[in-house]
Chains A and B, each alone.
Chain A
Amino acid sequence: MHSFYWACFGRPSCVREVLKDSRVKVNEPDNDGETPLCYAARFGSPDVIKWWIASGREIELGEPGDVFMDAIGVAKEYDRTEVVSLLERLKENPVETRHAVRVELGLLDELAAEMFALVVFVSDGLLKTKATGVKAGAKRTRFFNIARRLPLELHMLLCFRQVGSCKEIIQRQRGCIQVAGLEPPVVLKLHQLTPHAPPARLPSQPSPALPAFPALSMTACQSGTSCP
């Protein structure tokens, strides 16, 4: 069992910290062949799995019937109804589930949620290697899907320093993000505009009551000016 296994035993803040390190093999089975997700499904709190989902890192649910890797089956076996529900939602509709989980965890806006995901990418080294060529594969596609929605300044912020808790940074700055490492320093102002539509739902599915998902626009201004 490596560190991520230990974190999966119901330690949400530990999982959050460990997930930021790309070297952690989150889906690697232990010596018995059981995956961290199975441990989390059996022993951990649902928040552990929620932070994992919110991070955007890959989650291998395993094949049904596989005694070591079928996380949903393990959760059912141990009567973890909330975990079963969460994982089944994830299996059915990953995008919508990730959105709902991020809102639930307090990542109340798109930027905060994507910043947490981007910390993972910074940790992966994808942003740093952008100038010399990004690694190929699925991560590249995912990186560009996220990156093209964020301004260059934010990319640079994430390149220059590890962002700790994006939620804290946004709150601490009263709607502004101080961009470090740029000369002259830049402040990104966040303005909440019109409500942003959550991902489309299938007609047959009941619409869960999600809070409005505010859209953000960002404008750069010089440091030292007052932010609204």
Chain B
Amino acid sequence: MLAAVEKGDVKELAELIRQDPDFKVNLVGGDGITLLHYACMKDDRSAVIPLLLAHPDIDVNVKTNMDALLLLGLFWTPLLCS
């Protein structure tokens, strides 16, 4: 699913959700973020945001469980350079 979100591929993500309707949409990964956080990181992933927000179990206000500055260092700086 992460790969589908990274590509901003709505169809692929929808198919994956259909195959596994019980997946934990709010699951915080090892990097401290959820699929929705990941989708919000880049403009070309924005297409999958409505799909994730439409999930009945989504918690749109779920927070990262890591320090903000550390996350910024991990994700934001590389994204700026991309």
State the A residues within 8 Å of B (CB).
Answer: 1-7, 9, 11-14, 16-18, 20-21, 23-25, 28, 30-32, 43, 162, 164
Contact (A17, B49) CB under 8 Å given A3-B40, A6-B41, A43-B76: yes
Mostly helix, strand, loop or mixed at chain B's interface?
helix
Q: Are A3 and B37 in contact (CB under 8 A)?
A: yes
Residues in A neighbouring B34, C-beta threshold 8 A: 3
- Chain B residues with Cβ below 8 Å from A11 are 40-43, 46
Among B45, B46, B68, the residue within 8 A (CB) of A1 is B68
Tally the A-B contacts, defined by beta carbons under 8 Å.
Answer: 74
Residues on A with beta carbons closer than 8 Å to the beta carbon of B71? 1
Q: Which residues of A contact B45 (CB under 8 A)?
A: 14
Known interface pairs A13-B43, A14-B39. Does A1 touch B63 (Cβ–Cβ under 8 Å)?
A: yes
Within 8 A of A (CB), among B26-82: 33-34, 36-37, 39-43, 45-46, 49-50, 53, 60-64, 68, 71-72, 76, 79
- Known contacts A2-B64, A3-B61, A11-B46, then 11 further A-B pairs from the complex at CB < 8 Å, ordered by chain A residue: A2-B61, A4-B40, A9-B76, A11-B41, A12-B43, A14-B45, A14-B49, A17-B50, A18-B49, A18-B53, A31-B68
By the criterion CB–CB under 8 Å, are B60 and A3 in contact? yes
Task: Kindly provide the distance from the CB of B70 to the nearest chain A CB, expressed in whole angstroms.
Answer: 11
The residues of B that contact A28 with a CB separation of less than 8 Å are 61
Residues of chain A contacted by B42 (CB below 8 angstroms) = 11, 14
Indicate if the CB atoms of A18 and B60 lie closer than 8 Å: yes
Chain B residues contacting A43 (CB-CB under 8 Å) are 72, 76
Would B63 and A17 count as touching, CB distance under 8 A?
no
Is there an interface contact between B68 and A32, defined as CB atoms closer than 8 Å? yes
**Nearest CB of B to A50, in Å:** 14
Interface centre among A1, A25, A30, A162 (most CB of B within 10 A): A1
Residues of B within 8 A of A5 (CB): 68
B5 to chain A, nearest CB (A): 12
How far does the Cβ of B29 sit from chain A's closest Cβ, in whole Å? 14
Given that A6-B40, A31-B68 are contacting pairs, would A14 and B46 also be in contact in the complex, using a CB cutoff of 8 Å? yes
